[in-house]
Structure 1
Amino acid sequence: MIQQQIKGVIFDLDGTLVSSELDFQLIKAQVGCPRDLDLLDFISQLPSPYMRQEAMNIVHQHEMLDAHNAQLMPGVAKCLEQLTLMQIPMAIVTRNFGRAAKLKLSQCNVPISLMLTRDDAPAKPNPSGLLHIAKQWHFTPNHCMYVGDYLYDIQAAHNAKMRSCLYAPHEIPHYASQAHHILHSFDDLPQLIKAFG
């Protein structure tokens, strides 16, 4: 089987390009979301607009606090520099909300201007954000790679028919086998993309 060339790379934000200390179990407890349910799905199904707004306010407070403490992940700056030299277009699709995500980009000096947050497109694992970026680049999805650190990232890539790359710098999670690639260090990403050249 001939591997498709990777022409563009889309990244997740939290836990991938920048650090995140969001405690989702604490947030779920504060909004009354059961531990095993997706937080955003739970909030979207609350019975009144007021309850949805109150719950989102709590989430926003946590996300803004997290944004103020965010730091660039190891090896990211050099990796993005190399991908720029390789003329690989880059974008970000995050489940975070716009204000917090933009603060993280400016605080950590992430040189990627094209970003979709949950304010712009349905949250992952819905593939809409990823497909929107591919369309903007005029690439077919199979020429794009999505890099993220969580199951939703792998699922979003599969749903978009893109190559999935799981960033797992420490432990390998049980769902890692679902990803096309596992990235232990950002130092390895440019070589991985070159291998598809």
Structure 2
Amino acid sequence: MQRNIKAVIQPQIKGVIFDLDGTLVSSSLDFSIIKAQVGCPHDQDLLTYIEHLPSAYMREEAMHIVHQHELMDAQHSQVLPGVQESLEQLHHLGIPMAIVTRNYGKAAELKLKQCAISISHLITRDDAPAKPDPTALLDIAKQWGFNAKHCIYVGDYLYDIQAAHNASMRACFYAPDDVPTYATEAQYILRHFNELPELILAHR
């Protein structure tokens, strides 16, 4: 686990917010295929592209395609290694937990049920602007009654790091395999999910 050199003076961690796909549960979504089907250039963000389509009908049709892919993916999703054990440890520590995902509600709920993830506080793109917009993260901190600096966001993609920074939260990047260059923008890098409780305990 990589730690920022300033970790010893970081504020206490009181709450943990997670990404969903690739962080807590598996995902096999092929965005290159989805983008091709809706006409989105490969170098553009899919949700942003759909949002700016010129008619409501085009947006609805494109989102329908995305929903079908997400639901199919949800049916085959599995909990990732070390997640259940780590969530149980955080629960015993009394740490409140939540999930913020760019997925849509029905698919996200199906994944949580199928993978037996017992985090009830879920915000999807149906509920708030999609990451890297910080709205969902800030809303959770407000509901918990915490200053954002006392929360940490755990995810596996650049948008997760950006969302955390935009919310003035610490970013924890989960990289069980390859570590992309942008991962250094996060305060912490987890190579194994079971390192997370140790990180939280170090900031209690």
TM-score class normalised by the smaller sequence: over 0.9
* In the alignment, structure 1 residue 21 sits paired with structure 2 residue 28: yes
Q: TM-score, normalised by structure 1?
A: 0.99
User: One-letter code of the match for 1:15?
Assistant: G
Q: TM-score, normalised by structure 2?
A: 0.96
Name 2:189's counterpart in structure 1: 182
Name 2:122's counterpart in structure 1: 115
Mapping 1:147-158, distance limit 5 Å:
147-158=154-165
Distance 1:31 1:70 in 2: 24
* In the alignment, structure 1 residue 133 sits paired with structure 2 residue 140: yes
Mapping 1:1-197, distance limit 5 Å:
2-197=9-204
User: Which whole-Å deviations, capped at 9, do the CAs of 1:104-158 have from their partners, x for residues lacking one?
Assistant: 0000000100000000000000000000000000000000000000000000000
Distance 1:109 1:163 in 2: 27
After the TM superposition, which parts of structure 1 deviate over 2 Å for at least 4 consecutive aligned residues?
none
Q: 5+ unaligned residues in a row in structure 2: which ranges?
A: 1-5
- Aligned partner of residue 139 in structure 1, secondary structure: coil
- Aligned partner of residue 146 in structure 1, secondary structure: strand
Percent of pairs identical after alignment?
A: 66
Q: Which moved more, 1:1-10 or 1:88-97?
A: 1-10
The Cα RMSD (Å) is 0.6
- Aligned partner of residue 9 in structure 1, secondary structure: strand
Distance 2:32 2:138 in 1: 30
Distance 1:186 1:41 in 2: 30
Q: 5+ unaligned residues in a row in structure 1: which ranges?
A: none
User: One-letter code of the match for 1:174?
Assistant: T
User: Which whole-Å deviations, capped at 9, do the CAs of 1:15-68 have from their partners, x for residues lacking one?
Assistant: 000000000011000000000000000000000000000000000000000000
Q: Using the TM superposition, give the Cα deviation of residue 174 of structure 1 relative to its aligned residue in structure 2, in angstroms.
A: 1.5
User: One-letter code of the match for 1:59?
Assistant: V
Q: Using the TM superposition, give the Cα deviation of residue 186 of structure 1 relative to its aligned residue in structure 2, in angstroms.
A: 1.1
Distance 1:3 1:195 in 2: 10
Distance 2:194 2:74 in 1: 24
